[in-house]
Amino acid sequence: MTLTLADVRLSYPDGDSRTVVLDRIGLVVPPGELLAVTGPSGSGKSSLLAVAGALVTPEAGTVTVDGVPLGGLRPAERDRLRRSRIGFVFQQSNLLASHTALDQLMLIAHINGAPGRAAAERARRLLARVGLADKAHRRPHQLSGGERQRVGVARALMGDPAVLLVDEPTSALDHDRGTAIVELLRDVTHEHRVATVLVTHDTQYLPLADRALRMCDGRLVDHAAA
């Protein structure tokens, strides 16, 4: 199983006490599954992704990515694992204003130390896959919001991740473009056999996912429940 969380707990200081944000979370996401996680604002969805993506260390419990328990890793090893095995897509596409779509992807290849011809071909193939073959040389301001998110999806796949973590990718998009992005995420999840967690407060996209869970008081529950 590509991504597993077992008994994960996270809390933040809140005045004199602490607020529990993740309460004994258990989760298994197999390769090729698009899991949607919904829940109201503040319910801990982004915190869940931060822990799954080795950006935040939980107080208790274990997170395993691609067979590797994160808890046993030194910080540099954890950074390497994150760069090589985990792709992120955020609410804002976080593209560099001065770089073309192709450059955004090649930057990942540079960071991973393999910026050669094969990487350039992969970047072009991924941009074509997300429907941007003819816009590879555009900068972010020359792309629509939906197109920028598509670049973000292609960029997240550039390093050939095992896990894809996606935080509210549709919040700045209208319904049709939002649907297209979630469909794209589902299709690339199946094609690339990645374990994808898609966080969204928007329940209209749930039918497009392979499975849906809900954050409720720090717990992950079945969507039908509560």
Q: Which of 4, 5, 27, 45: binder of ligand ADP (CB under 6 A)?
A: 45
Which of the choices ligand ADP, Mg ion, none does residue 44 contact, using the CB cut-off of 5 to 8 A by kind?
A: ligand ADP
Measure the CA–CA gap between 168 and 194, rounded to whole angstroms.
18
Q: Is 102 in the site for ligand ADP (CB under 6 A)?
A: no
Binding-site size for ligand ADP (CB under 6 A) equals 10
CA dihedral 159, 161, 167, 168 (to 10 degrees): 80
H or E stretch at 36: strand 34-38
Q: Is 21 in the site for ligand ADP (CB under 6 A)?
A: yes
Q: Among residues 5 and 132, whose Cβ is nearest to ligand ADP? A: 5
Rounded to 5 degrees, what are φ and ψ at 202? -100, 105
Which of the choices ligand ADP, Mg ion, none does residue 72 contact, using the CB cut-off of 5 to 8 A by kind?
A: none
Binding mask 25-44 for ligand ADP (x = CB under 6 A): --------------x-xxxx
H or E stretch at 212: strand 211-216
Instruction: Tell me how far, at minimum, the Cβ of 42 lies from Mg ion, in Å.
Output: 8
Measure the CA–CA gap between 34 and 115, rounded to whole angstroms.
29
Q: What does each C-alpha distance from 124 to 115, 129, 141 come to in angstroms? A: 13, 9, 20
Binding mask 50-89 for ligand ADP (x = CB under 6 A): ----------------------------------------
Residues in contact with Mg ion by CB under 5 A are 45-46
Residue found under tokens 């020359």:
142
